[in-house]
Structure 1
Amino acid sequence: MSTSTGIGTEELEHVAAWEREEEFLRSVPGLLCGRPAVRRIAALAEDVWEIEVEDGRKLVAKQQIFGFLVSGGPLDLLEVEEKVLGILHQDGCPVPRVLGCDRAAQIIYLGHVGDRALDDVVQEGAGEVPSSYVRQAIIGLQAIDRNFSQHQAELRPLVSEAVSESALQAAWHTARQQAREGLAALHRHLDGETPSRCCDQALEEMGTWLATRSPVLGSSDYNARNLVVDVGRGKLSFIEFAKIGWDWTERRLVQYTTSMGSGREDGGMRSLLDEEGATFYEEHSGRRDGARALDYHQIFFLLNGAAKLGSALEAPAASGARLLSLWKNPQRRLRQFASHLSRGLSADALATEFRAGLGPVIP
């Protein structure tokens, strides 16, 4: 038995948490006008805390766990997020304001923009989620797109090779392959048939068309947990800009507005986008083929999800175990994927042909 230390792992974690709390008590007052003392600290996630001060104001502290690995380098996570949020917030985009950074602890302090992730609001909400949320997401993402484009020269050096324009095309090639696997998985698990030739052909044509569209610089971490809702004010804000890269606006929008409910016993998938929202996007963006692009990207997103779930069901003891622990009720989720595939976002002929070929897989 080693006598080098008498401190166990749990005790070390407790000490780390205590030191972090002490750091917040010491640092937060200096970030706010009037130097108010900290009244409450609540963990929102493993590396995110909501901090309330004595006058009722709130802020958020987020630690970049992997930031220590790249600290001081050209892709320093704190510096990237501080710079990007500074540009976006100054130009009026719906993002939190940076209040300060503690580089030694890899913590960034942000203005409070809401208590709930959109994913949670959708999963827990009784009845319909306000349609204004979709419109806010569309308008906000368009504003973020414009600002990234305007500041592209200074932001381009902050993009890692893994999310470069060439890497996007390689990743999209993989996504297209996964979509075909997802289509086959839906048929295997829901109706025992094989995908029709017309579906395969339509999928190939849609994927080729999407690949020709110009991507936009922006966040590389886009999902419904990274849209935060101030429920009292009914306002949405975008978070997570420590890593930026190239992707398509429509792909980001589809994933920002799709709630997955991962980890919930009663969780399920629900997309907030509908044909009305897609039309609004097309009109607001000025892109005549915007609804078509959204429709196609939603098809590929759903099929990629079906591929992952189908693979997990067929190899539950291996890599699939983790996914199955997050996506409860897998058969119900497969039916949800199929159901969402039946809901068009446009009147596009190719997408309509694809859906018609799905046949009995559609509930």
Structure 2
Amino acid sequence: MAGNDMQALVLDHVSHSFGGVLAVDDLSLSLSKGEVVCLLGPSGCGKTTALRVAAGLEALQQGRVIIANEPVAGAGREIPPEDRSVGLVFQDYALFPHLTVAGNVAFGLRGLSGSEKQARVQEALGRVGMAESAAAYPHMLSGGQQQRVALARALAPQPQVMLLDEPFSNLDARLRQKVRDETLHVLKESGTTTLMVTHDPEEAMFMADRIALMRAGRIVQEGTPAALYYQPVDAFVASFFGEINQLEGVVVTEQVSTPFGPVDAKGFADGAAVAVLIRPEALHLSPPEQSANGSIPVNGGAVEVMASRLMGRTSLIHLRSLDVPEQETHFHARVPGRFLPMENQRLRVELDRSQAFVFLRETD
């Protein structure tokens, strides 16, 4: 973490309750200047509450909020949202229908002359590619254009910190990809420190320099997208970032057996009941190298295809194990590009052990 002189936003041991229900539980998070950080997690995990506390839209109950090294909430101090130097973009954009695009962007600008205000509005609209729509009204714009205007309005006062709450969730899938790409480039080019809330792990990985994954009001794991994907601290983190093949096993001499060969289980006691989580892309498929008697060698594993589906950029293969026929579990393998083996075709499977994770089995 960067030193204090570089921290644009700090949430320091923040807790927040609603009617006795703890929504945010001792949350600490620090953002360096120019960094994009995503608060990620399922609905009800407290991520939006944490963002609203940072913005001043929820009065701080416990902890501290510091923006650009200045305490804005805590120890009896509560600076109102409009004086915190934060830009806000919500999922409904909250544009004023009776104001033009330029009027919406100019609304939050204070202490500027008319010409300075006009120049700032044009600069902000230019950043998001909406300069030619300055005279239009919100109802004349598409959802993507409205989102860009909301971003321009938040950027115009040149805030220390940008706070985005599910800003792309109202857009359809294709437009969402385009607008979030544009938004990321605008934020990076302007050097704006950004805290964004999302429930979508792919969106978080696309947008974030760093992700803080939340569960039940607490940060479970924090780090780069690669760190959370390849080094998850528990089964919740591993499974949150996409589909997982899950097996159960018992540790024997620091290994657990799977249909795809043994998996390392260092640090677990002999006899420990564990879950083995394997990402679909960790299963590498190839034609069987048959021996003289027609059997498939055991280095790797033998599988039979149940179904194949092209998913666009990847193919998803449904498999059953031939090495452990008594296990009814079926597995998914994800292969880049077009790979559509026939049903009942036998294949050899090898496991990329860097994408197989072992955790103690959770009990109900």
Q: Please give the range of the TM-score, normalised by the shorter of the 2 chains.
A: under 0.3
Q: TM-score, normalised by structure 2?
A: 0.23
Q: Per residue, is there more helix in 1 or in 2?
A: 1
Q: TM-score, normalised by structure 1?
A: 0.23
